[in-house]
Each structure stands twice: as structure tokens, then as C-alpha cells.
Chains A and B, each alone.
Chain A
Amino acid sequence: MSHKGDFLALLKSQNCHIQLSADDLNSASLPLGATGDAATHQLEVAEGTTVIAVRYQDGILIAGDRRATAGTSVMYDRAEKVLPIDEYSVLAISGSPAIAYEMARVLEHSFQYFRRSQLQELSVEGKLRMLSRLIRENLPMALQGIGGVIPIFALYDLNHPEDENGGKIYFYDALGAHFENAAFAVSGSGSVWIRGILRYLDRWEGGPLAEMDLQRATRTVLRLLDTASEYDVATSGYNPKSRIFPTAKVITREGIHDLPEQQLDEIYTEFVDVDYA
């Protein structure tokens, strides 16, 4: 076989075109009035959302609000923005939902295809580069300002020593460069309101975030999402009328677990939705 476990090459060989392929998106496909000249476009990615990943003592807690917006309209309040990709990897998306969901789908199938065809798991570096490639190939859409995606990618590295935390958090720029962040990462329009708080908590308040237990990590993340929703209209908070909670998942050596709604409800009631003294 010529494609050596490369799912994108397999799709191409079968004449199956995906939305993210740079081959299909060139300047000729830009909307009316657009020139396709990168210099004339400011790379601004619409990213109405807040997603957050923090390292805690057993792995990674990764969460996101549920609101999907189009301009100033709320389109949907139950969007899933924290998407499991394989047994130990999660993608938290911000940006264009159509592209982001397609990216997650391609990523999931690519990892699976590599494992099934090459009879081994794709390495952590291989997974990171695969996502970089998808983001880079999506550049024409990002330049148009309609299809940019700035995700957080979090995973648990099983090759890490068993007695250490193998949780890893990576964030990306719109061109596909990835950076590892040891303690936390945030993305989306609400992230500007909480990034500084995370830095403060990690540096001075109650010890490093990586030493938190799950209870404290969950409490912190829910409070931060609530804070983001207070200042960012594209981020939803807890909606008690509809009982819509943020999505929260943990990634540990045992794999990925959803935090159940009941647990989130209890933490909200006790620690987030509190009356002012």
C-alpha cells in the first residue's frame, strides 16, 4: 500500500474530497469581492465560545460552554465543543463549527486508520502534526474569516512513567503551529477574561493547578466558565431553567470520562451559584 497509514492520502486515492483540503480551496473560491491576497486580509478568526483545559493531579480536565452563535444570535444552546477523538485524546473546539466538527471527524478516523492499518498507535507527535496539517490546510477558509478554528488538544500519554501525570495540553495558532502548555490552555472569545485568572491561581493561589484534586479542578473550571459567560455574550453559563451544563471530561490513565450532570449540578449549587455575602 502506498499511503502508509495516511488517511487523507487514502481518501484522495478514492476520490473522496473533504472540506479541509487545501487543494479544493484556493483563491478562486473566495467570496465575491475578496482577492485571496493574504496581505489584504487580517487573520481574524471568529471564535465565539470558551473552552478550557487544566492539568490536575490525575490527568487533564477539559471543559467548554454549550452556546453556538451566529453574529449576535444564539443559534443553539446544547452544542458539544469537547469532542473525544480516541481513547486518550480530546479536541476542544472554538471557531467555525462546520470546519471544527469536520476536523474532529477527520482526526478521529485518521488515528483509527493508522492504528488499524499499521498495527500500532500513532505517536503523540504524530497526532499533533496531523492536527497541525488540518489547521494549515484550512488556511484559505481562515483567511476569509468564515472558517477559522483554534482548538485545544489534550491527551494522556501512556508512555509516560506510571507514577507521573501523563496529561498533556496543546494549543494551536491559526496556521497550525502547536505549543504545549504545562498547566492550562484556554481558547475562544471568552478566553481573554479568564486567562489571567488561571495564571493567578496557578502562581499564587492555593498551589499549582497541577496539584488540584478533581473536585477542586472541577469547581475552578466551572467558576471560570461562569466568569467568561458574564463578560462574553458568545459564552453560555449554567442555564437553570433548561438545566444545561457545560461539557466537562477528564482524561486519565484509565481513558476519557464524562463528568456526570449530577456532579456538575452539585458543584454549581454549592460553589458557583452562590449568593453574595
Chain B
Amino acid sequence: MLDEPYRWIEAINDRRDYIEDQLRPGSPVVGLNYNEGMLLLTIGSGQRKIFEVHNRTALCAIGHPAYIEQLRMLATDTASVQGFQNSVDDVTLHRLANFVLGPAIKQTFESIFGAAPIIKMLLAELGTLGRENQFSSINYDGAVATDSHAQLIGGTDAIESAMRRYLADSNSSDGTLISTARTALEIWAVGRDLSLHEDDESDDSEGSPVDRVQLHEVLKEELKEGQIEAAVLDNTRRGNSKFRILQSEEIENLTSDWL
């Protein structure tokens, strides 16, 4: 088989289809900047999806929990050893994403006789030493995309595009944590709504306005079973570690008098 390159390409394409099918129902994750730091938000069914990697770095992912755990530990171990051996300032998202996680995922993706990497990751790094805040997403094939303002991951490219369009059109956030988190919830609902109606995906017309009332209905429905999970990298936090999971009272404040 290996001496027939077209078969390898075919196998890779099959693998791509398989992974996308598996990822499609995944709960999207939204990463946005706010006045005092960076926010990561999703709605889940209880299994934790947002993690602290290092002092100023956080990670979240959609995909198979076992593979997420494997890569989370790879990122945590690498960052911890690097931070100890050199300096915590030498632990950067650029190095983690491009030199550690990206290549590892790419290698697994292209090893067609092994298990497929059912995963998409979103990492956030709070800026310091002249570096800007940075979000990086890593696709299941190891491709890394970075943005200093926001980053989103959803089950498919179409879902991510729709979420991105809503983010671009949205100007309701005043930069506070609560307002930013509400925007993030609406963006999440755009992605969720689309993933639940996959048959309609092809009909999704670019630029069509999204009804906010409808999004709130999606959120209300999802929150009957699911729970909001959100964490921040907070510049105002004392101490070296800037990561903080939002407490239940803060989560309640997000939705009370709003949904």
C-alpha cells in the first residue's frame, strides 16, 4: 500500500472525513479578549474542557476525552519542565503550539495505521514582556492558526465560519467580563445551532442576519442539560498564575436577567 501514493492520499481523505464526522457534534469553544484579560467559554455536560497549562497559558479542546487528556499532559509537562529549566518567561504559546502540539497532532493524523486524532484545540496566552495576548487554534491535522483578538473552534469549518461572522457583526460587548461572556455565549449558540441542524448547513447563506432571540432560545434549551464552563486568564490576579475558573455565582450572574 505504501508504494501506491494515491492510496495514501485516499486514506488521508477518508481519515479527514471520519474525524470531521466525529467532531461535528462537539460543543464549540469561544476565546475572546476582555478588559482585564482573556476569556475561554463553552457549554458542556459536566466533563471539564478548559485547563490551566502554565502561569499565563490555558487550553481547551473538543474531541475524544482520552486524546484531549494525552495532549493536555504533553502541553503541561513540556511547559512545566521548560519553565523550571529556563524561566517561566520562556514558556510561550508560539513554542507550545508550533513546536510541540502541532507536530505531535500532525504525526498522529498522518500515521494512517494508528488511531485518528479526534481533536481540535484552542490555546490562549496572556501577553507579557511586550507580547500581545494570543489565541492559537490547532486543527486535527496539526495546522496552527493564531489571532490576537479572538479564536473559535467548532465541529466543522462551516460552523467556525458562521461563528466568526457573528463575532464580526457583534458589537454588543463593552469589554467587561460579563458582557464579553454573554457575547461568547451567543457565538457558542450560533455554532451549536448549526451543528444540531447539519442537514441545513449547506443552505447556510453567508451574511444572513442571526436572530438573537432565537440564539437565546438555543441557549435556554442547552442549559437545561448542559452547564456553562468558563475560565479567564486575568491580568489583575495576584501571584504568578493568572488562570481562574469562573465560580458558580459568576456563572449565574451571566444568565440571570439576560436569558
A positions within 8 Å CB-CB of B: 1, 7, 10-11, 14, 16, 84, 86-87, 105-106, 108-109, 112-113, 115-117, 119, 255-256
* A109 (CB) vs chain B CBs: closest residue: B84
| Given A16-B85, A84-B239, A119-B51, also A112-B73 (CB < 8 A) | no
Cα(A86)–Cα(B241), bound, Å: 9
> Chain B 40-60 against A: per-residue CB contact (8 Å), 1 yes, 0 no?
000000001001111100000
What residues on A are CB-neighbors of B55 within 8 Å?
112
Closest beta carbon of chain A to B111's beta carbon, Å = 21
Question: Is the CB–CB distance between B239 and A116 below 8 Å?
Answer: no
> Given A1-B73, A10-B77, A87-B239, A119–B48 Cβ distance below 8 Å?
yes
Beta-carbon contacts of B144-181 to A below 8 Å, as 1s and 0s? 00000000000000000000000000000000000000
Residues of B within 8 A of A255 (CB): 238-239
Q: Across the interface, which residues of B come within 8 angstroms of A11, CB to CB? A: 81, 84
Query: What DSSP secondary structure best describes chain B's contact surface?
Result: mixed
Q: Does B139 contact A (CB under 8 A)?
A: no
Of chain B, the residue at the smallest CB distance from A15 is B81
Q: A1-B73, A117-B73 are in contact. Are A14 and B52 (CB under 8 A)?
A: no
B103 at the interface (CB under 8 A from A): no
| B80, A116: Cβ atoms closer than 8 Å | yes
A112 to nearest B CB, angstroms? Answer: 7
Please tell me the number of chain B residues within 8 Å of chain A, measured between CB atoms. Answer: 18
Please, which residues of chain B bring their CB within 8 A of the CB of A115?
52
Q: Is the CB of B53 within 8 A of A116?
A: yes
Contact partner of B239 (CB less than 8 A), chosen from A86, A109, A119, is: A86
In whole angstroms, what is the CA distance A106 to B80 when docked? 11
User: Does B127 have its Cβ within 8 Å of any Cβ on chain A?
Assistant: no
Query: Which residues of A are found within 8 Å of B239, using beta-carbon distances?
Result: 84, 86-87, 255-256
Question: Of residues 67 to 109 in B, which have CB atoms within 8 Å of A's CB atoms?
Answer: 73, 76-77, 80-81, 83-85
For the complex, what is the distance from the CA of A75 to the CA of B24, rounded to whole Å? 64
Complex alpha-carbon distance, A23 and B229, angstroms: 44
Give the shortest distance, in Å, between B253 (CB) and chain A (any CB).
21
B81 touches A112 (CB 8 A): no
Residues of B within 8 A of A105 (CB): 84
Given A84-B239, A87-B239, A255-B238, A116 and B81 contact (CB-CB distance below 8 Å): no
For the complex, what is the distance from the CA of A87 to the CA of B240, rounded to whole Å? Answer: 9
Instruction: Supply 15 further A-B pairs (C-beta < 8 A) apart from A1-B73, A11-B81, A86-B239.
Output: A10-B77, A11-B84, A14-B81, A87-B239, A105-B84, A106-B84, A109-B83, A113-B76, A113-B80, A115-B52, A116-B51, A116-B80, A117-B77, A117-B80, A119-B48
| Interfacial chain B residues near A113, Cβ < 8 Å | 76, 80
- Residue from A11, A86, A116 having most chain B Cβ neighbours under 10 A: A116
The answer to whether B84 and A16 touch across the interface, beta carbons within 8 angstroms, is yes
Q: A160: shortest Cβ distance to chain B, in Å?
A: 19
Docked pose: A249 CA to B83 CA in angstroms: 26
Question: In the complex, A116 Cα to B48 Cα: how many Å?
Answer: 13
Question: Are A116 and B238 in touch, CB under 8 angstroms?
Answer: no
| Neighbouring B residues of A117 by C-beta, 8 Å | 73, 76-77, 80
Q: How far is the CB of A20 from chain B (nearest CB, A)?
A: 13
Bound Cα distance A28, B238 (Å): 44
Q: Please name all residues of chain B whose beta carbon is closer than 8 Å to the beta carbon of A109 when the two chains form the complex.
A: 80, 83-84
Whole-angstrom distance from the CB of B130 to the nearest CB of chain A? 24
Show 16 residue pairs from A and B whose CB-CB distance is below 8 angstroms, ordered by the A residue: A7-B80, A11-B84, A14-B81, A16-B81, A87-B238, A87-B239, A87-B241, A109-B80, A112-B55, A112-B240, A113-B80, A116-B51, A116-B76, A117-B73, A117-B76, A117-B77
